[in-house]
A and B are shown apart, each in its own frame.
Chain A
Amino acid sequence: MTKKITLKINGAEHTMEVEPRMLLVHAIRENASLTGTHIGCDTSSCGACTILIDGKSAKSCTVLAVQADGKEIATVEGLATAEGLHPIQEGFHLNHALHCGFCTPGMMMRAIELLEKNPNPTEDEIRWGIAGNLCRCTGYNNIVSAIQWTSAKMQGKELPSTEPKFV
């Protein structure tokens, strides 16, 4: 038994036949071949699979593909445009906010919604805001800096230095 659904991913329509039990993350990765969205756990804990559904961040391992039928989905592959990188991508690169890169797409998607709701977050608000996304490599310092930098960039404020600071 399968169901025909259409996912609008990064503006493009993907029509597919899926079993009702198929997770959205698998539909995105396997049926739509967009492998930038990752899987890091089986308990909805790590956030590696975070995407935006109608503008709201969601863990795509915790949503069924059929639930997303007809919805607007944004994944990491849709961030950069012809004009260049999205500010969050620039922020992560310039602030060295990624090592292995596995958590990065989910972390950035989460950060985008965070900044949309709260364009000027404090360090504490950022830390709590990304608490659903695990990173095993970076120790989070630079992810926090990257989100602060992006916040400044998106508001046209003076950009913080991206040189490492040492005591």
Chain B
Amino acid sequence: MIKCKTSKEIGGMGHSKKRKEDARFIQGKGNYVDDVKLPGMLYMDIVRSPYAYAKIKNIDASKALEIEGVVAVVTGKDLEKYGLHWMPTLMSDTQMVLPTDTVMYQAQEVAAVIATSRYIARDGKEAVRVEYEPMKPLMDPFKALDEEAPVLRVDQEGKTDNHIWHWEVGDKEKTDSVFDNADVVVKQQMHIPRIHVASIETCGCVASYNKVENHLTMYMTTQAPHAIRTVIALVAGHVGLTEEKIRVISPDIGGGFGGKVPVYPGYVIAIAVSFLTGAPIKWIEDRSENLQADSFARDYHITAEMAGTKDGKIQATRFKVLADHGYTDASANPSKFPTGLFSIGTGSYDYGASYMEADAVYTNKPPGGVAYRCSFRVTEAVHAIERVTDMFAKKVGKDPAQLRMENFIKKEDFPWASPTGWSYDSGDYHAGLQKAMDAIGYDDLRKEQIEMRKEGKKFLGIGISTFTEVVGAGPSKDFDILGIKMFDSAEIRVHPTGKAIARFGTKSQGQGHETTYAQIIAEELGIPMENIQIEEGDTDTAPYGLGTYASRSTPTAGAAAAMAARKLRDKAKKIAAHLMEVSEQDLEWEPGKFFVKGAPEKSKTIQEIVFAAYTNHPEGMEGGFEATHYYDPPNLTFPSGAYICVAEVDAETCDIKVRRFVAIDDCGNIINPMIVQGQVHGGLTQGIAPAMYEELIYDESGNILNGTFMDYLVPTAVESPSWETGHTITPAPHHPIGAKGVGESPTVGAPPAIVNAIVDAVSHLGIKHLEIPVTPFKLFKELQKVGYFDNNA
């Protein structure tokens, strides 16, 4: 049971308050970007390339322009006149808005058609004739590094290869020497395939430029409205659109998961066209466009190694990564972290040597490198460490749970310095795994596994993942995006009658901020959460912030809310002392009121105090009751989890079924258990997705083979198991309310638990590793390779 300091009425931290935002969503009154309709609005559709790599010889728009209602066709050459045909990516690479001569991936934007309706825009798109000269695309990231490989980015002066960057961390010499002298070494090459966030709402915008005022209002699906405003100003400042003339409104967002962090060409074209025509321009992409052209996630080829003693003590890890970034590095990482926070990959284990290196390459695939509900490349890292940990356990002949218990960092050893430079804030890994084992009945399952193997109809596998996450970017000394420090903000205004509005620089896409932020403020001020209105997503009203992704909202903006509320509580104390004519030292706080020590009948409620702030405040004090705080976290937060998956494999058909899945998360103090649980459920389904179903597949000619919802397999309620969840609570010591982020932990932690379970089910047949997504057919082929069907025919 979670202990709450406040009453149910106040509804502070720990209460499973039902969500405030639900009312509009369940009644069809949400306001998503495609619901925005402005007078005189025109519609935009985009012509896309059928080739992965081709020269554009000619674009003939004449037939399109003949169609009644087609207003304009915009090409790269048109944008070039304004210097808007290229734009910077968040990683300081460059990306085409519209090409002037070459397309670099299939489905790349080639031209935009503007028309008076959605349907006419589509007619226009069909009528635009583009002549291409196809070239042989470069699809294999390993081949992209060959000396004779054609150089893709000839636009970059002096570029002679397809290499983007090299990154490394850790002590190479020390690590190599541990490996050279180790009893046992395991090594596995693995691919974490390209996947897509596929939020059910696609991306889109309505760009509305007002010529008279020289002012742009941009309604768009963005997780980071303020950052976008700054980016627009940086890109379009030279044509007169400076930052005070730009208002970005991020309305209700139908899921983000990282896919709504980047700036896509469609947004920029819409702004340019609105700027030139003065008409509002609506652009809403189709699902297929979304899957084929918007930022992908993952696509890391990893060689993971672990060294240790023969009795099972982990001594070192070594990871080598090849990152396939497509034709430009459009990752959404903090600037100084090209591989995101991959270096968390040393895991939850106590050892002192690790070395990791990564290289990134260009290929003829769409750009990206976004999160898919993960804190900057943590999923890739966790998959690698949790897979090799299992392989190591197997090799030394230890039970994987036992081996983890023996290698965990102990709870008294926090803060713990990782060999790759992190300072883990807190954790109790032993307690988490024990709880998960008890909940699932681990020992009985091991017995059942043996029984089922004897019977031979189905094989049972038990898979564990005990991961450490790193979220809440971040301390401004290390973390920035395009130079802007990654702090976040909260502004609280309490009205004379004691009700409040609070505004934030983050942006919920379903996380429930309107409820949880209100609970944080209720906890600190004792004002009932029902009386606290939360607002986000309008850059004209909200304080500056870097947005919501990478589980950073609670660690940063949540902390800012608590700090701003505490400023107000300090002020409240002064007013209370004034009202009761006692000194501040004589006052004590209980949620909702100050009372005189030893005389609890003498008290003033927060509502009385706030009223006095407007009607009867002490002389010399500023009136009103408002506070703002910009929170710069001293460290990131390190949530953790212990997940156990029980999988069954059909010995004949190779059908794979997740029988049970228990997830124990530790995200520190919990603001709203119901919402945390909801986040974990959703994250787990986005964990089973890449583990068993999702992958963006390209053929050698650069064609995407599954770019629609017909064949890109987002799990339905049938594929998704019934999740069982729970928690341990180890507060973040440096965080004002002791909370850590949680939204992404399950996506990070679930895939290796599932794969470990499936491998465990068939390990006695000689299977050591399976690549994700583990499909029945893939498993069938692997079993064929080890001769399983020869003996069982």
Which residues in chain B, 671-701, are within 8 Å of chain A measured between CB atoms? 673-675, 677-686
Most buried by B among A29, A30, A167: A167
The residue that B199 contacts in the complex, of A39, A77, A136, A138, with Cβ under 8 A, is A136
Within 8 A of B (CB), among A109-167: 123, 126-128, 130-144, 163-164, 166-167
Residues in chain B near residue A35, CB distance under 8 A = 28, 32, 34-35
Of residues 74 through 114 on chain A, the ones whose CB sits less than 8 Å from some CB of chain B are 75-77, 79-80, 85, 89, 92-94, 96, 98-105, 108
Identify which of A48, A132, A141 gathers the most chain B CB atoms within 10 Å of its CB. A141
Known: A99-B510, A142-B678. A128 touches B252 (CB 8 A): no
Chain B positions within 8 Å of A22 at CB level:
119
Contact check, B726 vs A164: say whether CB atoms are below 8 A apart.
no
With known contacts A99-B682, A138-B682, A141-B723, A164–B674 Cβ distance under 8 A: yes
Q: Does A37 belong to the interface (CB within 8 Å)? A: yes
Which of A42, A77, A123, A139 contacts B708 (CB under 8 A)? A42
How far, in whole Å, are A21 and B123 apart by their CA atoms in the complex? 12
- In the assembled complex, the CB of B690 is this many whole angstroms from the nearest CB of chain A, namely 13
Give complex CA distance A97, B231 in Å.
36
Q: B727 an interface residue at 8 Å Cβ cutoff? A: yes
Chain B, 1-26, contact with A by CB distance < 8 Å: what is the 0/1 string? 00000000000000010110111111
The distance from the CB of B204 to the nearest CB of chain A, in whole angstroms, is 10
Beta-carbon contact of A38 and B254 below 8 Å:
yes
Chain B residue contacts of A134, Cβ below 8 A: 200, 709, 714, 716
A45: interface (CB < 8 Å): yes
A93 to B201, Cβ gap below 8 A?
A: no
Residues in chain B near residue A40, CB distance under 8 A = 200-202, 254, 287
User: Whole-angstrom distance between the alpha carbons of A29 and B118 in the complex?
Assistant: 13
Does B512 sit at the interface, judged by CB under 8 A?
Answer: yes
Complexed CA–CA distance, A140 and B683 (Å): 11
Task: Please determine whether A123 and B509 come into contact, CB atoms closer than 8 angstroms.
Answer: no
Tell whether A137 pairs with B510 under 8 Å between CB atoms, given A26-B118, A93-B18: yes
Asked if B675 and A96 sit within 8 Å, CB to CB, the answer is yes
* A7 lies within 8 A of chain B by Cβ: no
In angstroms, how far is the closest chain B Cβ from the Cβ of A46? Answer: 6
A46–B287 touching, CB < 8 Å: yes
- Partner of A101 from the list B37, B252, B708, B717 (CB cut-off 8 Å) is B252
B481 contact set on A, CB distance < 8 A:
none
How many angstroms between the C-alpha atoms of A113 and B16 in the bound complex? 30
Tell which of B202, B255, B716, B720 has the most Cβ of chain A within 10 Å: B716
Contact A96 B686 (CB under 8 A): no
Residue ID in chain B nearest A106 by CB atoms: B200
Do the beta carbons of A135 and B200 come within 8 Å of each other?
yes
Q: Shortest beta-carbon distance, B530 to chain A, in Å?
A: 15
Contacts of B26 in A (CB 8 A): 76, 85, 89, 92-93, 98, 101, 104, 108
Contact of B200 among A75, A103, A123 (CB under 8 A): A103
Asked if B286 is at the interface of the complex by the 8 Å CB criterion, the answer is yes
| A42-B288 in contact given A19-B119, A92-B22 (Cβ < 8 Å) | yes
Cβ-based interface call for B264 (8 A)? no
Q: Does B599 contact A (CB under 8 A)?
A: no
B722 within 8 A of partner (CB): yes
B254 touches A101 (CB 8 A): yes
| Complex contact A101–B30 (CB within 8 A) | yes
B439 at interface, CB cutoff 8 A: yes
Q: Does B585 contact A (CB under 8 A)?
A: no
- Chain A residue nearest to B673 in the complex (CB): A164
**CB-CB under 8 A for A167 and B255, given A36-B27, A96-B675:** no
Tell me, yes or no, whether A34 is within 8 Å of chain B by CB.
yes
**Please, how many angstroms separate the alpha-carbon atoms of A137 and B714 in the complex?**
11
Task: Assess the B510–A101 pair: CB atoms within 8 A.
Answer: yes
Nearest-Cβ distance from residue B318 to partner chain A, whole angstroms: 35
Nearest A residue to B678 via CB reads A96
A17–B724 Cα distance when bound, in Å, is: 51
Q: Taking the nearest CB of chain A, how far is it from the CB of B553, in angstroms?
A: 14
CA gap between A130 and B717 in the complex, in Å: 7
Considering the chains assembled together, what is the distance between the CA atoms of A93 and B439 in angstroms? 28
Chain B, Cβ-Cβ closest to A33: B37
Cβ distance A131 to chain B, nearest Cβ, rounded Å:
4
Interchain CA distance A140-B709 in the complex, whole Å? 18
CB neighbours (8 Å) of A45 from chain B are: 287, 708-710
Nearest opposing residue in chain A for B438, CB measure: A167
The answer to whether the Cβ of B242 comes within 8 Å of any Cβ in the partner chain is: no
- Contact present for B681 and A105 (CB under 8 Å): no
* A38 in contact with B32 (CB, 8 Å): yes
Question: Which residues in chain B, 504-523, are within 8 Å of chain A measured between CB atoms?
Answer: 509-512
> Quick one: which of A1-57 are within 8 Å of B by CB?
19, 21-22, 26, 29-30, 33-43, 45-46, 48
- In the bound complex, do residue A102 and residue B201 qualify as a contact, i.e. CB atoms below 8 Å apart? yes
Q: Is the CB of B27 within 8 A of A38?
A: no
The reply on B216 being an interface residue by CB < 8 A is no
- What are the nearest 7 A-B pairs in CB distance? A36-B28, A101-B25, A102-B254, A100-B510, A99-B510, A139-B681, A45-B709
Show 26 A/B contacts (Cβ-Cβ < 8 Å), sorted by A: A34-B28, A35-B32, A38-B201, A38-B254, A40-B287, A41-B708, A41-B709, A43-B709, A45-B710, A46-B200, A46-B709, A96-B674, A99-B255, A101-B24, A101-B510, A108-B26, A127-B716, A130-B717, A132-B716, A136-B197, A138-B681, A140-B681, A140-B716, A141-B681, A167-B724, A167-B725
**Chain B residues in contact with chain A, CB under 8 A?**
16, 18-19, 21-30, 32, 34-35, 37, 118-119, 197-202, 252-255, 257, 286-288, 435, 439, 509-512, 662, 664, 673-675, 677-686, 708-710, 714, 716-718, 720, 722-727
**Given A101-B25, A136-B714, 13 more contacts at CB 8 Å?**
A42-B286, A43-B288, A45-B287, A77-B29, A92-B22, A99-B679, A100-B252, A100-B254, A100-B510, A134-B716, A135-B200, A142-B681, A164-B677
